[in-house]
Structure 1
Amino acid sequence: MSDQLVTYEVSEGIATISLDRPDVANAQNPELLDRLDSLWTAAADDPDVRVIVLRANGKHFSSGHDLAASSGRARSDKWTVAEVYEFEARRYVGYSLKWRNIPKPSIAAVQGACIAGGLLLAWPCDLIVAADNAKFSDPVVAMGIGGVEYHGHTWELGARLAKEILFTGRPVTAEEALRVGMVNRVVPLAELDAATRQLASEIASKHPFALRMAKRAVNQTLDVQGFTTAVQSVFDIHSLGHGHAITEAGFPVLVGLEGMKKSIAAQ
């Protein structure tokens, strides 16, 4: 099925969810995120699905939140911090944590740019296979905010590298991401889909309950260490950034927007 936002296919125990806005580098408007969530749910509920693959059509995995659409909100000085908070708590942090905790194994296949909100799609997946041209970045400091909503940075990169990419906005290459353990494998761009499919097939051959328990063991260990609590707490810090941006410019996306666009264009 296709609605020109996200496509979905199930074959041989693998559900493949594909972002399908290649003309805008798979920028995420609210409709895309809602559709994506519905497909994650469908895959989770389908007894024939053992592994979920998230991939993207086109040159880039995702350029993040759709700035042109202002995340579905009008550019106005009437939006409150509470309204922004509710919107992002549902579609950004809420969806990402939900996808992270779906009991079936998931794999993100990432090529090209994975910027800011793109991290909210890739990081919740259990495994990441990156094309050799993949670059991961969070240039949201350019918008006057301390980082994107789902703070996986410290867990995925380690504290010092997390600070560096936030402070500078520079991208992390696929090879660098592999060295620090943020991605599992780096493959040539032309082999990305085949390599991801092969890995998914290998995992799908295992007993689904055993896979579920293995995933739970790792995620629960991270949660004992404070992962989910930290993500939720840092979201409040992110929201404070929105409050500051609103007082400065009337609407969060307008603060440093040109700087943000330049960061994206550079990738």
Structure 2
Amino acid sequence: MTGSDNPGPAASDEEVVRYERRGPVAVVTMNRPEYRNAQNSVMTYALDAAFQRAVDDDEVTVIVLAGAGKHFSAGHDLGTPGRDTDVHYDNTAVLWWDHVGRAGGDQRFARESEVYLGMCRRWREIPKPMIASVQGACIAGALMLAWVADLIVAADDAFFADPVVRMGIPGVEYFAHPWVLGPRAAKEVLFTGERFGAEQAREWGMLNRVVPRAELEERTLQLAETIAGMPTFGLALAKKAVNQAEDQMGMRTGMDAAFGLHHFAHAHNAEVSGGDSLGGQNARSMRESGTGSGS
């Protein structure tokens, strides 16, 4: 189990992420429905362990990422009882020092390099195809989880937003917006912070399929089983080829640049507001803005 030397008050890996084999398909399910699957570090490392398990299992060809309950995910955990930003975890995604005990930008850069940008990049490179199965809210940090998947199947009740410009921050850490939405749609999403629905997301090219909510699980598994009929190594090479093409179009270097701006924004907020790096926003204010949890 990948996890914490000192997990503190947070739930165990087995509780926050479920793993199930369905023939050649591994279904990995975020399991904090009472908090709309808000992502704490326990969940991050439990997801990583589940993905590693699927990669290591020769019987698994395709991975499905889902969220238990009404919502896929409301984003990063900004204030639940299981929030664990000060807990030590062994770095898995980047070779950097631990964030615990560090101060200011050093602390935040170390943590977010690992649990946000680093983990998402690690998961994007999983050699087996991944399908995100999305219902309800997919907000801010949840976009990062959906975007690292190779395909996205969404229920017709799904809605999306990246409202973190309300914090004075130029988008979530895994800044894939211009590549998955296109530049003009990316600017609209960021500039307004407004929700957009599944049909709009499909029109912008972010989704592969939109299906009735009652059929989401079945239709996602059907697609996964179709893909599972292809040669595993051929799928891995095809995935790598497309990812490399995206990187040739500037995706990786663009993310690096945006990540620097992201942390500049945090530092600016802290300097002008007495140490508050979130610009006065919290889980409640982001929710009351009509968009959900934030960065």
TM-score for both structures, normalised by structure 1: 0.94
Structure 1 match to 2:91:
none
The 3-state SS of whatever aligns with 2:106 is helix
Give 1:2 shift: 7.3
Could you tell me how far apart the structure 2 residues matched to 1:54 and 1:108 are?
A: 5
Displacement of 1:253 in angstroms is 3.4
Instruction: Determine the structure 2 residue equivalent to 1:73.
Output: 85
Cα deviation, residue 259, structure 1: 3.7
User: Are residue 49 (structure 1) and residue 60 (structure 2) matched?
Assistant: yes
Whether 1:253 aligns to 2:278 is yes
Q: Residue 36 in 1 paired to residue 60 in 2?
A: no
One-letter amino acid of the counterpart of residue 154, structure 1: P
2:33 to 22, 33, 38: 22
| 2:120 matched residue in structure 1 | 96
The amino acid that maps onto 2:276 is F
Q: CA deviation at 1:47?
A: 1.3
More off after superposition, 45-54 vs 120-129:
45-54
| Residue 262 (structure 1) aligns with | 288
Among all aligned residue pairs of Structure 1 and Structure 2, give the percentage whose two residues are the same amino acid. Answer: 46
Stretches of structure 2 that go unaligned for 5 or more consecutive residues are 1-11, 87-101
Which deviates the most, 126-135 or 65-74? 65-74
Change (3 A) 1:114 1:266: closer
| Alignment coverage as a number of residue pairs | 264
1:137-176 map, 5 Å: 137-176=161-200
After TM superposition, give the deviation of residue 73 of structure 1 in Å: 3.4
Distance 2:48 2:279 in 1: 27
- Note if 1:179 corresponds to 2:179: no
Matched residue type, 1:104 = K
User: Does the Cα contact within 8 Å between 1:63 and 1:264 map onto a contact in 2?
Assistant: no
Separation (CA, whole Å) in 2 of partners of 1:263 and 1:197: 35
- Normalising by structure 2, report the TM-score: 0.85
Give the match for residue 229 of structure 1: 253
User: 1:239: which partner in 2?
Assistant: 263
Aligned to 1:115: 139
Measured at CA, do residues 82 and 264 of structure 1 come closer, stay the same or move farther in structure 2, by a change above 3 Å? farther
When you count helix as a share of all residues, which structure comes out higher? 1
Equivalent residue, structure 2, for 1:193: 217
1:193 shift after superposition: 0.4
In the alignment, structure 1 segments of 5+ residues that lack a partner are none
